[in-house]
Each structure stands twice: as structure tokens, then as C-alpha cells.
Structure 1
Amino acid sequence: MSRSRSAFFSLALVFIFLTALPCTLAAAEKSYTLAIVPNLPAVTLHKNWTPIAEYLSRELGVKVQLKLYDKITTFLEETKAGNADFMYAAPNMFYLAYQKQKYIPLVRGSNMLRGQVFVRKDSPFTKVKDLEGKTIAIVGPKNVCSVITRHALLSGQNIDFNVSYGGSTINVAKSVLVGKADAGATLDSSMMEDAPEMQREFRVLMQTDKIAPHPFSAHPRIPKQVRDAVTTALLNLDKSEQGRKMLETAKLAKPVKADYKRDYSFFADVNFDRLDRQQPK
């Protein structure tokens, strides 16, 4: 009788263990997706962001899985649908996702962004109003430099103009240099980084107000405890040389806590529909 009772309890323990095992495995396999805006080739973004994804995975005790895209339109569709748990996006793209999903900005870099409109030094155009009806080269329709400079021109300066897409800062600069476009619009920091030698060939006609850079944000379904842990982990990276290099590579240098109202509510005044209706010449 004693042996039977012992065997019964042993079998019961085995049954309880096997029943609980799937739950344990499910908890161990918990993962979050991190969507990265495709502003560089996917292979470059994978190299730049893998160290941060692995670091966050260790800090959170869960898997943080990179989600990369080959098109900005796909990235926007995914984030506006709320398919990403975490997201790193240009300010204007973050705002579009915020409108639909109320993503919460957690951390951003300290280097502010500012757009500029420039012409060749020998250009006859001396003020922004001279660009009425002219062609301005921009990187692309969704890039933050394009959005903030066109918004400033259309609303602040109240001029109409044509656009042409260069695809990159250096191509925009070349278009202006060879006369394919009357003016160009880029971020001032991008020009310094990508085409420093060309800067001496241009005159800046207008600069926009500075805006906060790309935020690292979280979908509101992510528990606050997890969001706070991610914020702390990213801020802590700035405390070591290796961590600072990781942040600089991912364009999150000198991270600070982000705030929607302070940093990104500016985009509520941007007429995105009007910008979308602008077709390249």
C-alpha cells in the first residue's frame, strides 16, 4: 500500500511538472519587436542595431528582435498599424504612428535637427521668396528634412514651388551644383556629414527652427515596468565608452528622456496631406 501511494504521488508530481512546462517555456520565449526606420541599407542597420537589441535583451530578460524594412512605406504601414512593440523612427514618422497608436517616446538623442534651404553662391536668388515657382531638390517625400523645410516654406513663407527627389543629401547637393535644381533642402547636420566639401559652394537662404531628433518609443500595450526598464537601460549606456559608441552608431548620442508634448507636438501643425500632394517635377 505504501509503495502504491508513493508511486501515485510520483506520477502526480510528473504530471504537474509536464503541465507547467509549456507555461514556463512560453515565459522564457517572451519577445518584443523593435522596428527600425529604413534610412540606411538593411545590412547596415542590422550591424548598427544588433548590439543594442542584444543589450536590451539581457537587461530585460526577454528577447528583443530587430524588425527591418526595405521601404519606408512598409515601415509606416506597420507602425501605424501598431505591429511593432518598440520603434526607432524619424520625428515625423513617429508622429504619424502616434496619431494612430499613441506610441510613447522614451529616449532620444541630444543633437537637435534643423532644416535648411540653400542655393549656389552665384545664384541670382537672394531670399526665399525668390524661389516662388522654382524647383527645390529634396531627399524624398517622407524624410524629416523634407517635411520640416517644406512645411516652413509652404506655411511660414507661403510660397509655391516644385520639388525633385535626390534620394540622398549628396545627390541633392549635386543637383543644385550642376543646375538641375534651383535650390536644395536638407538637414544642416547631414550636409556637414555627407557633403562637407560642397558646403563652400552654397549660400543658405533659410533655416528652420530646431526640432528633437528620432525617438526610441514603445507601444502603449507594453507594460510601464518594461518601458521604464528600457529607458533606464538606454540612458545607462551613456555611462561607458563602449555604450556611448553603440549609441552614436545608432544615432542616439547623449540620450535624454523624451517627452511627446515638448519634443514632437510641433508636428500637429504640419499639413501632411498637403505635403503628400506635392508631386516631383
Structure 2
Amino acid sequence: MKKLVYIALLIFGLPIQAQDRVFTFGIVPQQSAITLAKNWGPILQHLSKETGYKIVFRTAKDIPEFEQRVLKGEYDIAYMNPYHYTVFNKKPGYQAFAKQKDKLIYGIIVTRTDSPIKGLKELDGETLVFPSPAAFAASVVPRSSIAAMGINFTPQYVSSHDSVYLNVSKGFFPAGGGIERTLNNTNSDVRDSLKVLWRTPGYTPHAFATHPSLPEAVRSKVVEKMLAMNNSKEGLALLERIKFKGLESAENSDWDDVRSLNITLLDSLLEP
């Protein structure tokens, strides 16, 4: 019945109360949809209960599809990588409100624990695996850093961070890019078979941001209740599921360190 009422309101152009709307929360697919839903689902259920709004989990099959969905404004709220935020803040205008507390994001290059590789120079001439061309810390920064060292390699892209770790653990590639949080979150059998060969410098982490069309009252309530998760055992336990120690307020300028890198990979998305 509620669905029929909602459709009728849409047809006849009558105002829809925020409580009657479904708000989508898009999560960048660094891991499989099943893993993301398992870890983020309880957080969004908690947020729905606390705000009084229905907030539902969404992701995409891979990062390029996620980029297209963010560009089209398909997510009311989104969790996106630092470079994505600098792009989608311009178009369609997502505005950051939070980030992981006391955290910088570091890219890592992983190899098997039994690999004889001891340094990056030993990867010269190899094919390395990455989650996507525009995955910031797991791909953009390590690729540019390795290339700047004069190390020649061929990048191979897969669908997620978990796919990188699985491919390296099975020996399909000698090394690959990721970040420590997703490595810690991946299957323990895979994680225990890998070691971190190298880390990038640290940058401002992923952004929680809202689409400009999200009503300000809804945005304010979401921001309030998300940050309030820091203040309860239940909230902190839920954040621990995604390896967060807490959340902190954020603003657009926090990602100026990423902007200073002048990355142009997704500039074509900003064209009219």
C-alpha cells in the first residue's frame, strides 16, 4: 500500500515527505558486493533507525561502473575514493561531510609471503595487477610512483581490491596494488598468504559525500547521526566492521592534497 501511495504522489506531482523516500548510499566497490553488503549493511540499518529515513546499500559491479553511477547522481550519499571526490565534487557537485577519523590512506604493493621479491626494482618488466585505472591509492599513486623510479611494468586491471589480492595469492601475478584496510578486510586465507612490499606516501582518505539534490534537512540528520556513531559502543562496533576507529567531520578543502597531484585520468567525464 505504501508503494502505491508513493507512486500516486509521483504521478500527481504532490510533495513527498522525506520519511517516505528511499535514500541510496553508494559504496565504492573495493571488495565484492557480498562482502560490502555484509560489512556496510548493518551500518546503514543503524543509520536508518537513527535518522528515521530508509537508507539502502548500493554499489556497482566494478569501479568504472561506480564512476558512471556517481557521475549520473544515482547515489544520494556516497563513499568514494579521494581522487573520485575531487572529480565528482566538480560534477555533479557532491559535497563531503565526513571521513575516517585520524587516518591517512596509503597505497600498498603486495606480493606472496613466499615470494623472493624484496624490492620494487625486481618488478621491472613484469605485469602487475590493480583494481582499476582510477583507484586512487591502490592504483593511481603506486603506478605513477613506480614509473617515476624508472621501473617498466604492464598494468592489468581487475574488478576489485579483493580480486587483486586473490590473483597475487594464487601466483597469477607477482605483485599488485591495494590499501591496508581492504587487505585487512579480505579473506584470511588470502590475507595470510600476502606481504606488503612497499607503501606510498599518505593522503586524505575516502570521502563521505552527499548529492546536491539531497534535501538539507536530510543531509543534516544523516551527518549528525553518522558522527554520533563515535559516541556509543554500538556505533563504534559497527564502524569496526569496516576497520574504522571513528568518523570525523570533513570539508571540501581537505582533499586539496589530492588536487595538488593534478591527476587527469577522469577529466573526460567532466566534459559537456
TM class by shorter chain equals 0.7 to 0.9
SS in 2 for 1:84: coil
Q: Deviations over 1:218-270 (max 9, x none)?
A: 11233444333222211111222211122222454411112332236514525
* Alignment check: 8 A CA contact 2:27 2:78 kept: yes
- 2:142 pairs with 127, 149, 154, which one? 149
Contact 1:91–1:264 (CA under 8 A) maintained in structure 2: no
Alpha carbons of structure 1 residues 47 and 137: separation in structure 2 relative to 1, 3 Å: closer
Output aligned runs, 1:122-271, within 5 Å.
122-123=116-117, 126=119, 128=121, 131-144=123-136, 145-154=138-147, 156-157=148-149, 159-165=151-157, 168-174=163-169, 178=171, 181-191=173-183, 194=186, 195-199=190-194, 204=197, 206-263=198-255, 265-267=257-259, 269-271=261-263
Q: CA deviation at 1:80?
A: 0.9
| Secondary structure of residue in 1 paired with 2:139 | helix
Please state how far the C-alpha of 1:185 moved relative to its aligned partner: 2.8
Which residue does the alignment assign to 1:14?
A: none
C-alpha change, 1:140 and 1:77, in structure 2 (3 Å) is closer
- Kept in 2: contact 1:108–1:252 (CA 8 A): no
Please identify, of 164-173 and 26-35, the stretch whose mean Cα deviation from structure 2 is larger: 164-173
- Match for 1:33 among 3, 24, 48? 24
The percent of aligned pairs where both chains have the same amino acid is 23
Change (3 A) 1:93 1:112: same
1:138–1:164 Cα contact (<8 Å) kept: yes
Aligned-residue offset at 1:114: 0.9
Q: 1:15 corresponds to which residue?
A: none
Shift in alpha-carbon separation, 1:133–1:266, aligned structure 2, 3 A: same
Q: Determine whether 1:109 maps to 2:100.
A: yes
Aligned residues: 246
Decide which of 66, 69, 72 is 2:63's aligned counterpart.
72
Structure 1 pair 77/261, CA: closer, same or farther in 2 (3 Å)? same
Q: Distance in 2 between matches of 1:29 and 1:133?
A: 56
> Contact 1:136–1:183 (CA<8 Å) still a contact in 2?
yes
Code of the residue aligned with 2:226 in structure 1: it is: L
**3-state SS of paired residue (2:168):** helix
Q: Distance in 1 between matches of 2:228 and 2:246?
A: 10
Equivalent-residue separation in structure 2 for 1:52 and 1:198 (angstroms)? 29
Offset of residue 50 of structure 1: 3.2
Q: Which runs of 4+ in 1 moved over 6 A?
A: 22-25
Q: What are the equivalent positions in structure 2 for 1:37-48 lying under 5 Å apart?
A: 37-48=28-39
**CA 1:26–1:186 in 2, change beyond 3 Å: closer, same or farther?**
closer
Is the CA contact (8 Å cut-off) linking 1:172 and 1:185 kept in structure 2? no
**What are structure 1's unaligned runs of at least 5 residues?**
1-21, 277-281
Whichever residue aligns with residue 141 of structure 2, its letter is I
1:63 — aligned with what? 54
- In the superposition, relative to structure 1, how do residues 32 and 118 fare at CA in structure 2: closer, same or farther (>3 Å)? closer
2:205 aligned partner, one-letter code: P
Could you tell me which amino acid in structure 2 is paired with residue 83 of structure 1? E
Query: How does the TM-score come out when normalised to structure 1?
Result: 0.70
TM-score under structure 2 length normalisation: 0.72
Unaligned runs of 5+ in 2: 1-11
Distance 1:244 1:219 in 2: 26
1:186–1:68 distance in 2 versus 1, CA, 3 Å: closer
Q: Over aligned residues, Cα RMSD in angstroms?
A: 3.5
Structure with higher Rg: it is 1
